[in-house]
Structure 1
Amino acid sequence: MTHKIAILGASGYTGAELVRIIATHPDLEVAALSGERKAGQPMGSVFPHLRHLDLPDLVKIEEIDFSSIDLAFCALPHATSQAVIAELPRDLKIVDLSADFRLRDPAAYEKWYGKPHAAPDLQKEAVYGLTEFYRDKIAAARLVAGTGCNAATGQYALRPLIEAGVIDLDEIIMDLKCGVSGAGRSLKENLLHAELSEGYHAYSVGGVHRHLGEFDQEFSAIAGRPVEVQFTPHLIPANRGILATVYVRGDAASIHRALADRYANETFLTVLPIGETPSTRHIRGSNHCHIGVVADRREGRTIVLAALDNLTKGSSGQAVQNANLMLGLDEDSGLTFAPVFP
């Protein structure tokens, strides 16, 4: 059975990535594409790399007939998603790629996003979309909230270590580098080639980055007490990829064992031999995440590194992985394509 899919916000990077993935998915078909500012245009005009595909033209959301749609991906901006999803049919399965439903506590949402949540009932319904840790709840869900790409990378490095109790929870430092596509497709002065290339810079420094809300929520729930990581993201002059370097206090062998045991049966999570480090070039364009563990020269200190593609495993690939579960398909269906190299 082929499931009919709508992609709302298909004119952005994550929307295009969803189309790229679904194009070779054996069980999904793109039946509707929305793009408010690009409505009326062929998808091949908005994204020429997709011109070989037989796709519907972009339309406004209100023009879509959802009665024949099995699942909708919502790739709209933050704050827009909650208003749109609140108006969609209540029996429609939805995977939201924005930040609107990631935080369970309405007060936490208001703290990190600066305004009250406009759909608190839906916020309670949403299941957090980190697939490998919530797959049973995702399979039974109607609304799934995709994680932040930075948040996913950091959690893959740290969740098993917190669960296993092999690190000091009060000494976690995360240094993260992210490709520019993570900032979206909208025109911004600081993302111009002349402003961004030939250097990289830190942003949201000092504990103000919104993905910290996800780290606080998830790590504290695992530990059963407040856990706050020290986190600084950096924008690098690359299109895709995230590399998280996490500094922890704990024994390297125990940390490596905890990660290897937890991810032993996971298709998309690979723990490298101890001492080896991952690179964004080895996961580019794929739904894979590579994790490395290196002992620091100081006894009892360890570096954990995780690399994934922010548009695939960090966003659209994760979204399809979750949709597969929601539709009763094999979790890795349509997602086993190899990374692009070089």
Structure 2
Amino acid sequence: MASNTLIRAAVLGASGYTGADLIRLAARHPSIKIAALIAKGHAGQPLAQVFPHLVSLDVPKLVTADEVDWSGIDVAFCGLPHGTAHAEIKKLPERVKVVDMSADFRLRDLGTYAEWYGGEHSAPELHESAVYGLTEHYRDAIAKARIVACPGCYPTAVLLALLPLMKSGLISSEDIIIDAKSGVSGAGRTLKQNILFSEAGEGLSPYGIGSHRHVPEIEQELGAVAEMPVRVNFTPHLVPMTRGELCTSYVRLAGKAAAADLRKALADAYATSPFVRVVEEGVIPATQHVRGSNYCHIGVFADRLPGRAIVVSAIDNLVKGSAGQALQNFNLMYGLDETTALEQLPLFP
């Protein structure tokens, strides 16, 4: 692609948190022109009216999908709710590439999708060609894809930590326990009682116990590298902060493996990955160390229980867990440097 060529992008779901972060990042991308912002419920409004922090951007007003001239769009970033994205994506011209931040193309088995998302998939003809967008593990496939299904925020943090360990045979495929915690933005921008300030503030609460929709996604990817079915115990928690996600995975070591072997395997796996950092021994990953950035920090610790280890991973759920990873995948799809427009360092304090 010529360096002076602008890629015309549309953002579906531009009034949501992931849409806003995608716009924030893409606005400083040297190869992207934001040509359409789609938000049905806010159609006709300027973006600054919905997100005042983006008032400095020169972007189009929000419109409905029917108002967009798709002949002038090259790529669509989709931040629509789960269960609605596939219906909109199948309407798009075949020439338009899609980076989907919903769950609608993540699960390879359509029966599993229907079971966990409460309805049949309306675009099975597109489903087969969609590529799972965990950037560090599917780079080659992403680069050739028309539709990339970005992973959920929890699977991103968990899989970056565990996939190299499972693939190398250093951990058992059994008895994996994942304790996950996320900021309130992970619940979206829709009004819900449990995320009101008085409900979510000054407390910590689990949710989706034994039934969270990200479980089959985690099991799908771990099972693919283990070459056998994998079941995990996964419990997410709502933390009274806006951004951030921390996943603590308790694993059983395989054979004579030790925590040091796990740390080395992760370091080797991500030696050329610009956004994954395996922290030094004794350093504890924390959400405040990755806030606002596309980085993932991973730490490995020996458990006091013999034969077990603890793997901790931290990301910003809206960046590496969603919009940042989407832009990282976009860069691969267009043959651009993977880090373009994602170089910002974490915001601290």
Q: 2:66 matched to 1:62?
A: yes
Paired residues for 1:188-207 under 5 Å: 188-206=192-210
Counterpart residue number, 1:287: 294
For residue 222 of structure 2, what is the amino acid of its counterpart? F
1:231-310 aligned at under 5 Å gives the runs 231-250=234-253, 251-310=258-317
Shift of 1:39: 0.3
- The code of the aligned residue for 2:304 comes to R
Quote the Cα distance in structure 1 between the aligned partners of 2:12 and 2:23. 11
Percent identity at matched positions? 55
Output the CA distance in 2 between the equivalents of 1:190 and 1:176: 18
- Quote how far apart the aligned CAs of 1:298 are: 2.5
Matches within 5 A, 1:320-331: 320-331=327-338
1:59-208 aligned within 5 A: 59-206=63-210, 208=211
Question: What SS does structure 1 have at the residue aligned with 2:138?
Answer: helix
Instruction: Answer yes or no: is the 8 Å Cα contact 1:293–1:303 preserved in 2.
Output: yes
Deviations 1:187-220 (A, max 9, x none): 00111000000001001112x1110111121111
> Deviation string for 1:244-297 (max 9, x for gaps)?
001112220111111111011110000011222100001001000000011122
Q: CA deviation at 1:42?
A: 0.3
Q: What is residue 13 of structure 1 aligned with on the other side?
A: 17
Secondary structure of 2:128's counterpart equals helix
Q: Does the CA contact (< 8 Å) of 2:74 and 2:95 recur in 1?
A: no
Q: RMSD value over aligned CA atoms?
A: 0.8
Cα deviations by residue, 1:31-62 (Å, 9 ceiling, x for unpaired):
11011010000001100000011111000011
2-side partners of 1:298 and 1:322: how far apart? 39
Deviation at 1:326, TM superposition (A): 1.0
CA offset at residue 299 of structure 1? Answer: 2.8
Q: Give the alignment partner of residue 32 of structure 2, picking from 28, 35, 40.
A: 28
The code of the aligned residue for 2:212 comes to H
Q: Who is 1:41 aligned against?
A: 45
Taking structure 2 as the reference length, the TM-score comes to 0.96
Contact kept? 1:252, 1:300, Cα under 8 Å? no
Q: Does 1:339 align with 2:337?
A: no
Alignment-mate amino acid for residue 121 of structure 2: H
State the one-letter code of the partner of 2:299.
G
In 2, are the aligned partners of 1:130 and 1:152 still within 8 Å (CA)?
yes
Equivalent-residue separation in structure 2 for 1:269 and 1:183 (angstroms) = 25
Deviation at 1:323, TM superposition (A): 0.7
Structure 1 spans left out of the alignment, 5+ residues = none
CA distance in 2, matches of 1:113, 1:172: 24
Please state whether the residue corresponding to 1:153 is helix, strand or coil. helix
Which shifted more, 307-316 or 166-175? 166-175
Q: Residue type matched to 1:112 in 2?
A: W
Q: Which residue of 1 aligns with 2:220?
A: 217
2:231 maps to 228
Counterpart contact for 2:252–2:307, Cα < 8 Å: yes
What is the rounded CA distance, in whole Å, between the counterparts of 1:275 and 1:160 in structure 2?
A: 20
CA–CA separation in structure 2 for the residues paired with 1:265 and 1:134 = 14
Determine if contact 1:78/1:99 at 8 Å carries over to the other structure: yes
Q: Is the 2:25–2:342 Cα contact (8 Å) retained in structure 1? A: yes
Shift of 1:112: 1.2
2:7 alignment partner, one of 3, 7, 14: 3
Instruction: Kindly indicate whether the alpha-carbon contact (under 8 Å) linking 1:10 and 1:35 is maintained by their aligned counterparts in 2.
Output: yes
TM-score for both structures, normalised by structure 1? 0.98
Is the contact between residue 173 and residue 246 of structure 1 (CA under 8 Å) also seen in structure 2?
Answer: yes
State the alpha-carbon separation in 1 of the partners of residues 67 and 84 from structure 2: 17
SS of alignment partner, residue 44 of structure 1: helix
* Structure 1 counterpart SS, 2:203: coil
Quote the Cα distance in structure 1 between the aligned partners of 2:296 and 2:33. Answer: 26
The residue type paired with residue 327 of structure 1 is Y
Where 2:271 maps in the other structure, the secondary structure is coil
In the alignment, residue 51 of structure 1 is paired with which amino acid? V
Give the letter aligned to residue 162 of structure 2. L
3-state secondary structure, aligned to 1:286: coil
Distance between the aligned counterparts of 1:192 and 1:120, measured in 2? 37
Q: Secondary structure at the match of 1:210?
A: coil
